[in-house]
Amino acid sequence: MRTYDIEPGGSELGHGPVLATTVIRSQGFICEADDSIVTGLSFIEPRYMKVSLDNGFLCPDTKLRTTQPVVVILRPGVVQLWTEEYEGSAWSGLRSLPLQRQGISSGSSMFYSPSGLVYSPVHDTLVISLTDGSFHVIYGISSSPTSELSLGLTKQPSFSSSDLSSISRKVFIQVEGGAIPHAEMNRINGMVAFGGFPFVSWAHE
């Protein structure tokens, strides 16, 4: 567990408030070992858990709260999310979310290895690309993670796994030029945010 507090004293760099960080490590297993391999591992800090900063400087009225990073475990066809339980948490423990095949080519499969991972604090959404060129979206990371876009959400992202996968395919066809057979896969070897999501860049072959 990670907590942030503002101390009124100054620092070597000035006399403003000081951000004190405390990390409490708990022992235990996130998940039991099984026969499936781990193809990716990452940490993200959900939107409502982030520390509020103003132009990089702490303000006297800055609201700081306990933060809990989320562990992202990627396995073939499955995204697993884990966060430790603490007071006020919307969810805790291990969540397993199966990926769905995006048929952008005849060889597409949700079992391909991941090639990129981006978390958007604004949308509270996790976007994952696979080497088959497909994109997969996980919504509501801070509240209730799901791979299904709920129609009941008042503020929901205007994109889905199929939308982003379709864009990926269209970009591939446009860049390569000419008619591309459906059997030809647009392999993505790396995907990163470019100046912040929803702008992303990737390398394909």
Give the whole-angstrom CA distance, residue 105 versus residue 112.
13
According to DSSP, residue 105 is labeled: S
Q: What SS3 state is found at 134?
A: coil
Give the whole-angstrom CA distance, residue 115 versus residue 102.
15
Residue-wise pLDDT tens digits, 114-158: 999 999 888 889 999 999 999 999 998 988 899 987 665 545 567
Say if pTM beats, i.e. exceeds, 0.85.
Answer: no
Of residues 162, 38, 186, the one with CA closest to residue 100: 162
Reported as a pLDDT band with limits 50, 70 and 90, residue 18 is: low
Residue-wise pLDDT tens digits, 150-196: 665 545 567 899 999 999 999 999 999 878 999 999 999 999 988 77
The predicted model gives 16-22 an average pLDDT of 53
Give the whole-angstrom CA distance, residue 24 versus residue 2.
6
Residue-wise pLDDT tens digits, 72-84: 999 999 999 999 8
